[in-house]
């Protein structure tokens, strides 16, 4: 059934082997990060060109914080770094997928394993949220301080 062969043109966006990340107008690309072992999605964040390059070269996850407008080494404050097992890029090269091993067992600044700890369900008066992975692996106040930036 496959009629097209990959790599017909090495710099073809969808079928090539040249990395051509399509950063948006702000210079960012979306990154989804999942646990390499369980497949659980841990977080969605953004990378600029430097963050992507540092991630590829160092084997640890770097992002760009839109709120702090700064390059951000994941786990810099908490020690909960992400060791990168595999980096993937999607068909039109505007999204990155990191498969990581999460140090400390928690990716979310709230202290939970994943940022996606609530499910969206239909309700009588619109959608409602239900906590499905509410348990905290660490206490964010203890890790970041009560007045520290609660994200790393």
Q: Is 60 in the site for a second copy (CB under 8 A)?
A: no
Binding to a second copy in span 114-133, by CB under 8 A = 115-122, 126-132
Burial of 45 (0-12, 13-18, 19+ CB in 10 A): buried
Work out how close the CB of 63 gets to a second copy at its nearest, in angstroms, rounded to a whole number: 13
Residue of 69, 70, 91, 124 that binds a second copy (CB under 8 A) = 91
Nearest-CA neighbor of 130 among 139, 121, 143, 141? 121
Please answer whether residues 96 and 29 qualify as being in contact, where contact means their C-beta atoms are separated by less than 8 angstroms: yes
* Residue 42: closest CA among 96, 107, 101: 107
As a whole number of angstroms, the distance between CA 60 and CA 74 comes to: 8
Q: How many residues bind a second copy (CB under 8 A)?
A: 61
Using the rule CB under 8 A, is 13 a contact of a second copy? no
Asked if 54 touches a second copy (CB under 8 A), the answer is no
- Interacting residue ranges for a second copy, rule: CB under 8 A: 1-4, 6-7, 14-19, 30, 32, 34, 38-41, 43-44, 53, 56-57, 86-91, 94-97, 108-112, 115-122, 126-132, 134-139, 141
């Amino acid at each position: 059934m496959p009629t097209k062969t990959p790599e017909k043109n090495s710099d073809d966006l969808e079928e090539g082997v040249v990395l051509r990340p399509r950063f948006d107008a702000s210079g960012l690309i979306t990154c989804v990060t999942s646990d390499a072992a369980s497949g659980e999605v841990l977080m969605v964040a953004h990378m600029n060109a430097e963050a992507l390059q540092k991630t590829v070269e160092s084997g640890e996850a770097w992002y760009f914080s839109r709120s702090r407008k700064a390059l951000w080494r994941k786990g810099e404050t908490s020690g909960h770094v992400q060791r990168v097992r595999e980096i993937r890029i999607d068909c039109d090269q505007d999204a990155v997928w990191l498969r990581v091993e999460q140090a400390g067992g928690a990716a979310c600044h709230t202290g939970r394993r994943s940022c996606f700890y609530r499910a969206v369900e239909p309700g009588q008066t619109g959608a409602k949220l239900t906590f499905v992975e509410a348990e905290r692996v660490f206490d964010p106040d203890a890790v970041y301080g009560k007045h520290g930036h609660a994200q790393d």
